[in-house]
Structure 1
Amino acid sequence: MNARDLCLGFALIALSSVAVAEPGCRPLVERPWVRAAPPGAAALAGYLVLRNPCDAVVEVVDVESLDFGAPMIHRTEEIDGISRMREAGRLVLAPGESLAFEPGGLHLMLMKPLRPLSEGDVVRIRLVLADGRRLYAEYPVRREAPVP
């Protein structure tokens, strides 16, 4: 083995180490949609399934949108027979876990639409992760949930 072969071997080992150490796995936003609301509505609700196919825990800490002035993540809870919405706080997904945002439960509360929205429009929403990454998806405005 000569010096050139040795250097090439070290370079290949270094490249393979980088490929293994580099986190390329991203959580997946599946079946996103926003429920259509009457014209002039001050808030809409968004739904999706968030799936974590990665080997590491994923934490969702916020939501952003260019189409709403105040997007939030809420959870509907029943307390003493009364249904109330509360901010959900941090959402933690273990490896392999999925989290459904659905009517009557966890959902995106999309306050202050910045433009009129009707069925067939598409809104842009990003989930913000604790590590600073953002999961962008386009959410069609629909009357009914998409069929899985």
Structure 2
Amino acid sequence: MGLPLLMLASGSAALAAPAAAANDETCRPTIESPWVRAAPPGAKSLAAYLVLRNGCGTAVEVVDVESLDFGTPMIHRTVEEGGVSRMRPAGKLVLAPGESLRFEPGGLHLMLMQPLRPLAEGDVARVRLVLADGRRLFAQFPVRRSAP
């Protein structure tokens, strides 16, 4: 009777291990070169850029963006429609292991709407990317006139 229980116990431990690995926070994607483009005083929206790198062994999906400094942060993509550039919701953002995703002018970017405080060149905006598994990636985004 002891051997079947031992086998059952070891089998359930083996089944539990993958779930624990999926929630393992030791490997996190990284935000590199974050910045917010400076805008004139009173601007109602600012654009932010970054490079997101997934150095982990599993894919990650970005599902949202949050900020303590903006009422409505969003993830957008600039697309050309009929010869006119327009901003559209970015859609699904999945990074495979080892992949990078560039948020840059004229393409994928963060649209930071409704500033909750004035942000001038040299200030820092606080932004978090939200992953599908609930984890959040925080970074401070310096306000600059041009890319770092």
Q: Which bracket does the TM-score occupy, shorter chain normalised?
A: 0.7 to 0.9
Q: Which residue of 2 aligns with 1:12?
A: none
Give the CA deviation at 1:49.
0.1
Give the CA deviation at 1:82.
0.8
Question: 1:49-72 CA distances to partner (integer Å, 9 max, x unpaired)?
Answer: 000000100000000000000000
Give the CA deviation at 1:107.
0.2
Q: Which residue of 2 aligns with 1:43?
A: 45
SS at match of 1:85: strand
Q: Which residue of 1 aligns with 2:10?
A: none
Match of 2:112 among 101, 110, 125: 110
* Cα distance in 2 between the residues matched to 1:108 and 1:31: 14
* Cα distance in 1 between the residues matched to 2:88 and 2:65: 15
Listed as ranges, the gaps of 5+ residues in structure 1 are 1-16
Give the CA deviation at 1:79.
1.1
Question: 1:94-132 CA distances to partner (integer Å, 9 max, x unpaired)?
Answer: 000000000000000000000011000001000000000
Give the CA deviation at 1:90.
2.3
Q: Which residue of 2 aligns with 1:119?
A: 121
* Cα distance in 2 between the residues matched to 1:104 and 1:123: 21
SS at match of 1:75: strand
Amino acid at match of 1:83: S
Q: Which residue of 2 aligns with 1:100?
A: 102
SS at match of 2:105: coil
Amino acid at match of 2:103: F
Runs of 4+ in 1 over 3 A off after TM superposition: none
Equivalenced residue count is 130
Match of 1:28 among 27, 30, 51: 30
Amino acid at match of 2:94: V
Q: Which residue of 2 aligns with 1:63?
A: 65
Query: What is the TM-score normalised by the length of structure 1?
Result: 0.84
Query: What is the TM-score normalised by the length of structure 2?
Result: 0.84
Match of 2:88 among 86, 96, 104: 86
Q: Percent identity?
A: 75
Amino acid at match of 1:65: S
> What value does the CA root-mean-square deviation take over the aligned residues?
1.7
Give the CA deviation at 1:91.
0.6
Q: Which residue of 2 aligns with 1:6?
A: none
